[in-house]
Amino acid sequence: NKFNKFFRMVKKRTCVFLSGKETNLKNLISYSRDKSFPIKISLIICNNNKAEGIKYAKWHNIPLILVNTKNKNSDNKILLQLKNYRISFICLAGYMKIISNKIIKEFRDKIINIHPSLLPKFKGLNTFSRVLKNKEIKSGCTVHYVNDKLDTGHIIKSKKFFLIPSDNETTLKHKTQNLEYKAFPQAIISIFRHR
């Protein structure tokens, strides 16, 4: 009936965590404007006051909280804001800080991350240089759930491309980002399709 249809379409109030330029944020904002997309970006948390992603928040009138993650009380501040904004889902989009167990416990199976390699290969940082150094024949990106170990959570979606001899860190970054723009929204749709 109509009520059930409406109830299914209520978007999940989502927070995006970021640290930098974050074109993935821009991409998710664009997708979230579609009424059939399952999330609404209701909050942005950033731990870098020079991050370019801040301007996307301002342009789109999305509440933004700047957090100093070196402060030992930062977890409590983050959790309080997530509660204040009634957040039920979290996307990490270039967030260069390991999420604490305290937050993971509160949002178990409700935090996802996008990583610029084909996990389980090349967890952590400096992905592109490591892919080249290892002479990989393919690379890509992975969307996964966040748990208490770095880049080891259950994989939701991955996308790949094959390297060519002329590839360098710049071309790898460009190719990977283009895949991320597809993989992240597709992963989000697949999560909520099954809930």
Tell me the catalytic residues: 115
- Do β-strands 111-115 and 138-145 pair in parallel, antiparallel, or remain unpaired? antiparallel
Q: How far is CA 103 from CA 46, 53, 115, 116, 142, in A?
A: 15, 22, 19, 23, 22
The alpha carbons of the chain give a radius of gyration, in whole angstroms, of 17
Helical ranges in 33-168 per DSSP H: 53-59, 74-84, 101-106, 127-133
Q: Which residue from 143, 135, 139 is spatially nearest to 171, judged by alpha carbons?
A: 139
SS3 137: coil
Q: What span, in angstroms and rounded, lies between the C-alpha atoms of 56 and 132?
A: 32
Would you give the DSSP letter of residue 124?
Answer: S
Two structure tokens written together for 135: 């002479």
Q: What span, in angstroms and rounded, lies between the C-alpha atoms of 52 and 178?
A: 19
Q: Are 40 and 33 in contact, with CB atoms under 8 Å apart?
A: no
